[in-house]
Amino acid sequence: MADSIRLTIASLNAYAQRYDYWCIAWSGGKDSTTLLTLVMWLISSGKIQRPPKRLIVLYADTRLELPPLALTAMDIIADLRERGVEVQIVRSEMDRRFFTYMFGRGVPTPGAHFRWCTGMLKIEPMKQAVRRVYEQIGHKLLVLTGVRVGESAARDDRIKIGCSRDGAECGQGWFQEELASEPADTLAPIIHFRVCHVWEWLKHWAPQAAYGDWNTAPIADAYGGDEAEELNCRTGCICCPVAGQDKALETIIANPSWSYLRPLLELRPLYEELRLARHRKRKPAGELNAQGQPVKNQCRKGPLIMKARLMGLARVIDIQTRINTTAQRIGRPTIDLINSEEIARIHELIAANTWPDKWSGDEPFGERPMEEICSLPFFEDCVSTSPKSP
């Protein structure tokens, strides 16, 4: 652990000191919270120098964080502001929030081959926030991230590729220097941390007064603490539709003080149901690409029909209502899966007959027999070229 911290100090001293402006990208999850609180302690203890001009913490509020993580993030934000640290809360615009996008626009539930949620809820809003800071200050800044080797094989592959790019350096963190026209360069100073170091920091070091007195132990507990496995604790979202199992949520609900959140487990069956053909539109045969050639995935399933959107919205509201009724009765924190503004906007989008790009709503219903939808002369091509023929 001590060696890992020394490597982080070396990384920050080697690269971060070149910049007058820093932004810390923080999601409220285990890795970025480790980065944030560690950097704050290193600055306060004099082990690294604070950036000369400005330090900004950008908190990515997806509105889908596990309740203990969201509550802990609010506590940490309050502590940061009390200590004079600038914090900006970054959210997607209304029409690009999870439930607004899904039920208002009809975009299907995210999946392994259609993972729109991470980019829309976290990555793009953070990029826009960094761009706004850059335009305000007029200087390139450094973004610190909590990326680590070992969190996922896919990310490790990207790190290997990134290390071979021009301007990228490894060894002391993962430093990526972008073109001069870009708003920021990036440094991952805890890239070498093992997951056991993350738990050790969050559970035992950061809560001590000597290391900042941060309220981080609930984050480790939410993931299962020292017993959590690396691959079991990658998501901090409520019922991630891409993950195979809700292990973090199940761990939280196993705690008696959080057991009233059990109705959240009903979200996964809802997401799975909304993927079914009977809840969706389907492209008729003969769809062409931009070059005028038939697309490979003829007769593909598409957006949610209006009835399915209203059904899904009603079930999300019901889950939230039941949880909050119990929370108020037993004196526990309520949740905010979906708020009144988002509900109103969803109804507005439905009333306006809103559909995703390249869909009009006039397409056939997905539950109709394929022979009807993929009518000749396109049916034969549809069955032979589609990778997921019925």
pLDDT at site 240? 79
pLDDT tens across 332-376, in order? Answer: 999 999 999 999 999 999 999 999 998 999 988 876 655 555 554
pLDDT at site 289? 83
**Bond prior to 377 in cis (omega within 30° of 0):** yes
Residue 251 · residue 325 · CB < 8 Å: no
Q: pLDDT above 90 covers what percent of the chain?
A: 64
**CB within 8 Å of 234: residues ≥ 6 apart:** 151, 152, 243
Q: Which has the higher per-residue pLDDT, 29 or 344?
A: 344
pLDDT at site 335? 95
Q: Which has the higher per-residue pLDDT, 378 or 251?
A: 251
Q: Which two tokens stand for residue 199?
A: 């738990």
Residue 186 · residue 176 · CB < 8 Å: yes
Q: Which has the higher per-residue pLDDT, 226 or 274?
A: 274
pLDDT tens across 306-323, in order? Answer: 999 999 999 999 999 999
Which pTM does this prediction carry? 0.83
The CA distance from 231 to 151, in Å, is: 7
Greatest Cα pair distance in the chain: 74
Least confident interval from 86-95, 190-199, 227-236: 227-236
